[in-house]
Structure 1
Amino acid sequence: MRIVSACVAALACAAPLHAEVVSQDAGRFETASTVQIAAPPEIVWEALIKPNRWWSGDHTWSGDAKNLYLSAQAGGCFCELLPDVKGSVEHGRVMLARPGSELRLFGALGPLQAMAVSGNLHIALKPRDGGTEVTLRYIVGGAIDGDVAALAPAVDGVLVQQLDGLRRFAETPAQ
């Protein structure tokens, strides 16, 4: 329950973002988040493919975002090195990479990996008002352990935190 509370608090602090649990039932849920970034799509894309610079280390297996990497091509990996055990973990597999436009990953993020679920993470970039509107949709389905009504907003809150990290990094000059 502590994780759910922390995620709800993170969601409440993310004022420039619009986020919601779009749908949920016993075996699936869908979240959607949108943020306006004051940078063109090309800059946002370059930031997006560097998760080691904007993803929260609190939501990694190693505890340090510098261990994240993303190979932005079909079949590429959104992965993390685990230096303490000389291992690694796959967060998602790239299904579609359209530079400056969209990225789709297939994978169960974080604690969802321990469940018999699959996830589709779609990140769309659209030019808007001199910047970029970024929409993140995550659809998870399968044998979800626990209360979907509590899990879905918690996952949404974590994704909102990451999206805000992307916004802050993309808006920082000289990345």
Structure 2
Amino acid sequence: MKHLLITAAALALATAALASEVRAEVVDAQPNGFQVKRTAVLSAPADKVYAALSQPSQWWNKDHTWSGSAASLSLAPMAGGCFCEKLPNGGSVMHMTVVYAQPGQGLRLSGALGPLQMSGATGHLGWSLAEKDGKTTLTQTYDVGGYMTGGLDKIAPVVDQVLGEQFDRLKIYVETGKAP
């Protein structure tokens, strides 16, 4: 029981520390679009962060895949590259297409994630990296526009939560070599 309490206390402290290091927000939300943004300082050089971005199978939560397996995800970090997912029985999903790839500096993708694929909306997911003293400030933005029944502003907080979880998992993966 003592070990369980110590573990719970350590987890609470780690979660609080992570939350204090990450700034997150729904920047804007309108019926025709929204922007969500996150920024954190990662204890790793920019080239390591960039390399990790191209390995979503290592840090993306399987609960936010169509296949139920993060191992089915891939990302080709080059213009025209695919952020794709293999599905059972030979199926596949193209989540987004890479429109900008600059190692150590930034990665930008175009497309719609999750339920947004079933609407008239599309988005731009971008990560910018700025290294200083061996640490990297990573900023993630997702701008979405178009049409969705009921308005895109209604889904913005959910998208922010889901992308925030992936961002947090990426940070932990970069800094520890393991995703939660």
Scaled to the shorter chain, the TM-score interval is 0.7 to 0.9
Q: Structure 1 residues 69, 129: closer, same or farther in 2, change over 3 A? A: same
SS in 1 for 2:115: helix
Alpha-carbon offset, residue 115 of structure 1: 0.3
Identity of aligned residues (%): 45
Q: Structure 1 residues 121, 174: closer, same or farther in 2, change over 3 A? A: closer
Task: Determine the C-alpha separation between the residues in 1 that align with 2:84 and 2:100.
Answer: 16
Q: Which has the higher contact order (CA 8 A, sep 6+)?
A: 1
The amino acid that maps onto 1:165 is R
Structure-2 residue corresponding to 1:26: 31
Alpha-carbon offset, residue 129 of structure 1: 4.9
SS in 2 for 1:61: coil
Task: Determine the C-alpha separation between the residues in 1 that align with 2:125 and 2:77.
Answer: 14
The structure carrying a bigger helix percent of its residues is: 2
Q: Deviations over 1:107-154 (max 9, x none)?
A: 100010000111001110111353111100100000122353431011
Runs of 4+ aligned residues of structure 1 deviating over 4 Å after TM superposition are none
RMSD of aligned Cα (Å): 1.9
Structure with bigger gyration radius:
2
The amino acid that maps onto 2:79 is A
Q: Give matches, 1:29-68, under 5 Å.
A: 29-68=34-73
Gaps of 5+ in 1: 1-11
Decide whether the 8 Å contact of 2:31 with 2:154 is kept in 1: no
Structure-2 residue corresponding to 1:124: 128
Structure-2 residue corresponding to 1:167: 171
Of 41, 64, 78, the match for 1:73: 78
Alpha-carbon offset, residue 47 of structure 1: 0.8
SS in 1 for 2:40: strand
The amino acid that maps onto 1:35 is A
Q: Structure 1 residues 26, 127: closer, same or farther in 2, change over 3 A? A: same
Aligned residues: 163
Task: Determine the C-alpha separation between the residues in 2 that align with 1:37 and 1:73.
Answer: 23
The normalised TM-score by structure 1 is: 0.87
The normalised TM-score by structure 2 is: 0.85
Gaps of 5+ in 2: 1-14
Q: Deviations over 1:139-172 (max 9, x none)?
A: 0000122353431011011111111111111112
Task: Determine the C-alpha separation between the residues in 2 that align with 1:173 and 1:153.
Answer: 29
Structure-1 residue corresponding to 2:3: none
The amino acid that maps onto 2:144 is V
